[in-house]
Every structure is written in C-alpha cells, then in structure tokens.
Amino acid sequence: MNAIQQYSIVTANYWAFTITDGALRMLVLLFFYQLGYSPLEIAMLFLFYEFFGIVTNLVGGWLGAKMGLKLTMDLGLALQIGALLMLTVNPEWLSVFYVMLAQAFSGIAKDLNKMSAKSSIKSLASEADGKLYRWVSLLTGSKNALKGVGFFLGAYLLSAVGFENALYVLAGLLVLALLVSILFLDSDLGKAKNKPKFSEVFSKSPAINLLSAARFFLFGARDVWFVVALPIYLSSVLGWQHIEIGTFMALWIIGYGIIQASAPKLTGIKKAKNLESSAEQSANLASLPTHRTAMALAFALAMVPTVMGLTLSYEPQWILLIGLGVFGVVFALNSAVHSYLIVSYADADGTSKDVGFYYMANAGGRLTGTVLSGYVYQVAGMEACLFIAAAFVVIAGLLAGRIQTA
C-alpha cells in the first residue's frame, strides 16, 4: 500500500479512537457529577488517566521505534476496549479507585494511539514541499474535531441509553477499528533501522526539551479551566443541562479542530502542485512556522483568559461564549504549530522516541491542569482558573522563544 493509503488507515484508526475517548470523558464527568461528586473528586477520577499517559509516552515511543507503530497502535485500541468494558460492571462497584483504574488503562491506550499516529507521518510525508506540516495539521485538527463529536455523543448516549449501554456502543466501534488496523496497516511502519536502547527514551536535543516544556504549560493552561471547571460552572452557575453542556463543548472542540487542520492555509503554506520552481519551494520552506511563531502565538493567547478573568463577573454567559471562541482559534494555531515543530525536530530514524518524550510532557501538562482545574475551581472559582491559565501560557511562550535550531 502507498503512503496515502497508509496515512488514511492511520487517520481512520485515530478518528475512531478519538470519538470514543471524547465520549468516555464526557460520560464519566457528567455521570459522576450527577451522582454528587465534588469538582475535586471528579478531577481525581482522571488522575491516573493523565499520569499513565506520561509513562506511556516515554515507554511507548521507545517500543514504537523498536517494534513498529502498528504494534503500539493496535495495543492502544485493545486497551481502550478493555477500559470501556471495565466500567460496565454493577454500579455498586464503581468506586473512585475502580474508575481511576479504568481511566489508567484508557490513558495508556490514548497515548499509545496518539504517539503512533503522529510518529507515523514522519515516514509517510516529506517536509520540503510542506506536506509534513499539512498532514500533521490535518491529522491533529480532524482528531480534535472528532473529539468534539465524542463529547456530544457521550452526553447524548448518557441521556438516551444510559451509562452502561453507551459503553457497549463505544466498545463495538473500536472493535471494528482494531480489525481494520490488524488487517491492513504496515507492520514495519515506524521501525528504527538502528534499534534504540531503553536509555535513549529521554531526549538529548535542547530544542525538543524546550518545546516539550512549552507544551507542558500550553496544555496545562487549557485544561486548568476547560476540563473540569468549565462544565461544572456551566451546570452549577449558569444552570445548563447535560445535553446542552455536551453539545456546546462538542461544537467548541469541532471548531477548534477545523482551525487546527486549516493552520497551514492560514499561515500561507502552499500545496506542492502550486510550487513551480526551486525558488518558490525555498520561499515556502521559509514560511513554515518556527519557534518564534510559537512564542508570538502564546503571548497573543495569554491575553484571552486574562481579559475573561477580569470581566467574567459582569456578564458570565456572554464572556464565556465569546472568550471561548477567541481562545479556541488562537489555541488551535498554537497547538498546530507545536505539533508540526516536534515532528520536524524529531530524528527521522525512530521518530517515535522524540515524539513520545514530547507527548509525555503534554500528558504532564494535562495532568497538572486537570488536578488544578478541580482544586482551584473548588477553592477560588473560575476567575482564578483563568488567571492561572494566562500565566501558564506566558511561560510556554518564554520557553518557545529560547529554542535555538541549526
């Protein structure tokens, strides 16, 4: 199969996983809030999900380079099916620890799947004609759009068929995706020619280390107010219903994904067929985003939660709606540039090692943001969450600005 066919399989696999992952998060969040769990207790349900994502990215990147990305991708799908079925037990068994354990398997599965999908593009697309940037942006943007579909699907299934039946529906979707991957995905995809040692899982590249640190704070900034504080605020303060919350967050994620997928077009990258000369190709390469792009976008992004935090008390519903729209656009561009830079900086032989290390930092940022989202909202409210988000984004911009590449 050619590169485009392999890319299509990887993307479809990633899409199926992403829908179930978004749906599962919304199911767990709304179901346990409905049962009377506090914001901090709900945040703790996702603690293992994020923590084991850190470990998985570190080990999974090495495993992908050594054994191939087909193995890590299929393993991620199988683990997610198991995590979904774990939650179909008698509701009396659904203690906080048991749900945390199921979320641990889901976190391992999610990051195995994401690392595999992102890493595979390095061996399927070239950088000189801008294809690498376009394919990374398309994969990442479409994934986030479908995560929004998953949010809506989770809220809808919870209302329509209940918690347990919703889990069976999601597991069935992933069984189909796993069969397609087993049958058609290239088993040598992403294997390193020189088998990496486990000691090489930590990046020795200053550029990747700084970009990873910036990613930590960028995604911590998003999750500190979005993942727990926002849906609970919409429910408890603004009085929204579950289906309204799920639909709104779904539409936000979908719009965010569309912007992310469109990032190359928005930043002026042309398609290869429009480049008629080497001079045009050189100009196109010069227009690709750099660490300075990431720094500028971060500083622009920091202004959004700052203004929201200062004005939220005046007209909370409209401030949230407008602020979320602006935040989504600028954050999507930030994330797309980061996703391109890590694949661009990564070593071509065994890309998954560097990508895994980078997404370990991403998972660390999400873990920090998720815990802070529940705790800070519970003790200080939404405004405090927004101000912490602004500070995190400024730090991300400063770290990106320190990157030096050859």
User: Contact at 8 Å (CB) between 288 and 362?
Assistant: no
* Structure confidence by residue, pLDDT tens digits, 19-74: 999 899 888 888 888 888 887 788 788 888 878 877 787 776 667 667 777 888 88
Q: Is 297's pLDDT higher than 90? A: yes
Which range, 58-62, 123-127, 271-275, 399-403, has the best average confidence (pLDDT)? 399-403
Q: Tell me, what DSSP letter sits at residue 314?
A: T
User: What confidence category does residue 406 fall into, taking pLDDT thresholds of 50, 70 and 90?
Assistant: very low
Q: What is the DSSP string of 82-148?
A: HHHHHTTS-GGG--HHHHHHHHHHHHHHHHHHHHHHHHHHHHHS-STTSHHHHHHHHHHHHHHHHHH
**Of 374, 62, 14, nearest to 228 (Cα)?**
374
Q: HEC string of 25-83?
A: HHHHHHHHHHCCCCHHHHHHHCHHHHHHHHHHHHHHHHHHHHHCHHHHHHHHHHHHHHH
The pLDDT value given to residue 85: 95
User: What confidence category does residue 174 fall into, taking pLDDT thresholds of 50, 70 and 90?
Assistant: very high
* Structure confidence by residue, pLDDT tens digits, 250-273: 888 888 888 877 877 776 555 544
Distance CA 31, CA 37 (A): 9
Tokens of 385: 């969450």
Q: pTM, whole model, 2 decimals?
A: 0.71
CATH tag for 3-186+199-401 (out of 3.40.50.10420, 1.20.1250.20, 1.10.3660.10, 2.40.30.10): 1.20.1250.20
| pLDDT, mean over the chain | 81
* Structure confidence by residue, pLDDT tens digits, 304-346: 999 999 999 998 999 999 999 999 999 988 988 888 888 777 7
The pLDDT value given to residue 319: 94
**Of 122, 120, 112, 127, nearest to 186 (Cα)?**
120
User: What confidence category does residue 170 fall into, taking pLDDT thresholds of 50, 70 and 90?
Assistant: very high
* Structure confidence by residue, pLDDT tens digits, 134-165: 777 777 777 777 888 888 898 889 888 998 99
Residues in the chain, total: 406
